[in-house]
Amino acid sequence: MKKYVFVTGGVCSSLGKGVAAASIGTLMECHGLRICMVKVDPYLNVDAGTMSPYQHGEVYVTDDGAETDLDLGNYFRFTSSPVTKKQSITTGQIYQEVIRKEREGQYLGRTVQVIPHITDEIKRRIVSAGTDNDSEITIIEVGGTVGDIESIPYLEAARQFAHDVGRENIVFVHLTLVPMVAGEEFKTKPTQHSAKALREIGIQPDVLLCRSAKPLNDEMKRKISLFTNVNKDSVVSAYDVDGTIYEIPLVYANQGLDRMVLKKLGLEYTEPDKSRWEKVVDIYRNPVDVVKIGMVGKYIDLTDSYKSINEALCHGGIANKVEVEIVKIDSEDLEKEKDLDKLFKDVDGILIPGGFGKRGIEGMITAAGWARKNNLPCLGICLGMQVMVIEYARAVAGLADANSTEFMPESEAPVVSLLEEQLDVKDYGGTMRLGRSESHLKEGSLIRECYGTPLIYERHRHRYEVSVKYREVLEEAGLIVGGTTPDNQLVESVQWPNHCWSTGVQFHPEFTSKPTDPHPLFAGFIRGAIDNK
């Protein structure tokens, strides 16, 4: 019988359910079990693709082109779980499917209701997600907070699961908050109310993960246990770590969380192999040097906007046994900055990430120009690569009006433009160039050196491409095209000539980087920054 772990959250949002769920998955894999991670999001959007980064953080893209919640990125980085469109379930998808079936008459004239039709569709998708990879345990993170009206159908579906598959095959893990008030006194009342709200829905939590600034002592755990009807040994202190989030699975293991989950699921406890994670944490805590990377972006104010890039830079540091300090630079502010030498004097490399829209673009172009002229390592991702091309076209190729038609439709030198099939797109959901595709790397290029192979597969998310019409002009001016699509029509990577380390890529390498397997491009970029330093 398959086993299921439901991870819910209480008190407030952004407590770290995604990392908590992924950490549980990590521990189960340390015991040699096959797992599947699933995220259910209560919003009505069909997917995260049309959401602003300020609203929802980054959009994580899967191999099969699904635009998903950033927590799927956590699942990929922490576990070996499949990460596809099946692992991302939204209310928009659920209602869309139920209404489709109703229109086709599949419900045989019955009145369509939240119970059982919506909850049945939720359960069907959860079961289906764990079937393809023959997983032994499916771990489901329920988005939102207990008490949110949007989350009720998902919690009801979780309650029904206990009857469908047997209570012995389900573990309910509830992540909650134990705030600290003046005098560094912990308050357990929010956790008590959160557990009570969950019980009112019909779910008794088996395990409580109590988020707090500092570790909880036995007295606090005993008090929480008394008022929540959760065994004291199953009250886990999910305190803030002072290092890396990749230490969290070890923090949980030290408190016996993996043992609790296995016992409640009726699975045999075996000694876990945590060596990979212990090695990652050791390198992170004992770096041989520090490298500063200036990230010039449009959404710098919200850390989650560049979640995967931040983590991939960390992984690049782990690959080189150095600490990576990210210096956030708002590209809009850069447009007003006069003293660039002062701004960039302490950074060892510049990263220009992806994004959409005109705002802040000239600041990104300025940053690219400064990196090129001052021989500073530079990595451009998606929009970042396009910015590198625009700057080079203006400054070196003699195309003073060079731009992207995204920002200046009337440009006389549109070196970046829409693909022909994108010209008449009116529906912006899931219509970009999305998902995993093949690229060929040019022999002798820096990107080929980083990957060590002529053929790579990476994930894309964009509408605009370097214009085929201007490729010859740019190459004649010295721009190196390091990677292309198999038909040699679309530019996948560029490189500045006579530069210490520069690569722009049209795809998103950050989506496939792990702490235990750093992406070669980020490892190479950090290595270039070390050499430059």
The reported pLDDT for the residue numbered 428 is 54
The reported pLDDT for the residue numbered 533 is 83
More confident residue, 432 or 300: 300
Residue 450 appears among annotated catalytic residues: no
The reported pLDDT for the residue numbered 84 is 94
Overall average pLDDT of the 132-142 stretch: 91
The reported pLDDT for the residue numbered 12 is 86
Q: Any idea what DSSP says for residue 284?
A: H
Angstrom distance (rounded) from CA 384 to CA 434? 17
Structure tokens at 217: 């002592």
Overall average pLDDT of the 281-295 stretch: 96
Angle made by CA atoms 497, 499, 501, in degrees to the nearest 5 = 115
41 pLDDT above the threshold of 80? yes
For residue 419, the Cα-to-chain-centroid distance in whole angstroms is: 27
Q: pLDDT confidence of 427, banded at 50, 70, 90?
A: low
Overall average pLDDT of the 496-517 stretch: 97
Q: pLDDT confidence of 424, banded at 50, 70, 90?
A: low
The reported pLDDT for the residue numbered 243 is 84
**215-229, 236-250, 409-423, 477-491: range with lowest mean pLDDT:** 409-423
User: Percent of the chain beyond pLDDT 70?
Assistant: 98
156 pLDDT above the threshold of 80? yes
Residue range 397-414, pLDDT digits in tens: 999 999 999 999 999 999
Cβ count within 10 A of residue 453: 9
Residue from 382, 450, 458, 460 carrying the catalytic annotation: 382
For the chain, give the mean pLDDT.
93
Angle made by CA atoms 526, 522, 492, in degrees to the nearest 5 = 130
The reported pLDDT for the residue numbered 53 is 78
The reported pLDDT for the residue numbered 149 is 92
Which domains are assigned to the chain?
Answer: 3-280 (3.40.50.300), 288-532 (3.40.50.880)
Overall average pLDDT of the 76-96 stretch: 95
Q: Any idea what DSSP says for residue 27?
A: H
The reported pLDDT for the residue numbered 461 is 93
Decide if 191 contacts 210 (C-beta within 8 A). Answer: yes
Q: For the CA atoms of 441, 447, 453, 455, what is the dihedral angle to 10 degrees?
A: -40
423 pLDDT above the threshold of 60? no
523 pLDDT above the threshold of 60? yes
Could you give phi then psi for residue 459, rounded to 5 degrees?
-95, 140
- Mind giving me the DSSP string for 4-38? EEEEEE-SSS-S-HHHHHHHHHHHHHHTT--EEEE
Overall average pLDDT of the 468-477 stretch: 95
Pairing of strands 480-484, 433-441: antiparallel
The reported pLDDT for the residue numbered 104 is 92
**131-140, 269-278, 318-327, 368-377: range with lowest mean pLDDT:** 131-140
User: Percent of the chain beyond pLDDT 90?
Assistant: 83
Residue 12 appears among annotated catalytic residues: no
Overall average pLDDT of the 462-479 stretch: 94
My answer on whether omega of the bond before 190 falls inside 30° of 0, hence cis, is: no
Residue from 117, 315, 508, 519 carrying the catalytic annotation: 508
Pairing of strands 480-484, 413-418: unpaired
Angstrom distance (rounded) from CA 390 to CA 483? 17
Q: pLDDT confidence of 477, banded at 50, 70, 90?
A: very high
Cβ-based neighbours of 164, under 8 Å, separated by 6 or more:
123
The reported pLDDT for the residue numbered 422 is 53
Nearest residue to 505 via CA among 443, 454, 459: 459
Residue 382 appears among annotated catalytic residues: yes
Overall average pLDDT of the 125-142 stretch: 91
Residue from 247, 406, 458, 510 carrying the catalytic annotation: 510
Residue range 251-282, pLDDT digits in tens: 999 999 999 999 999 999 999 999 999 999 99
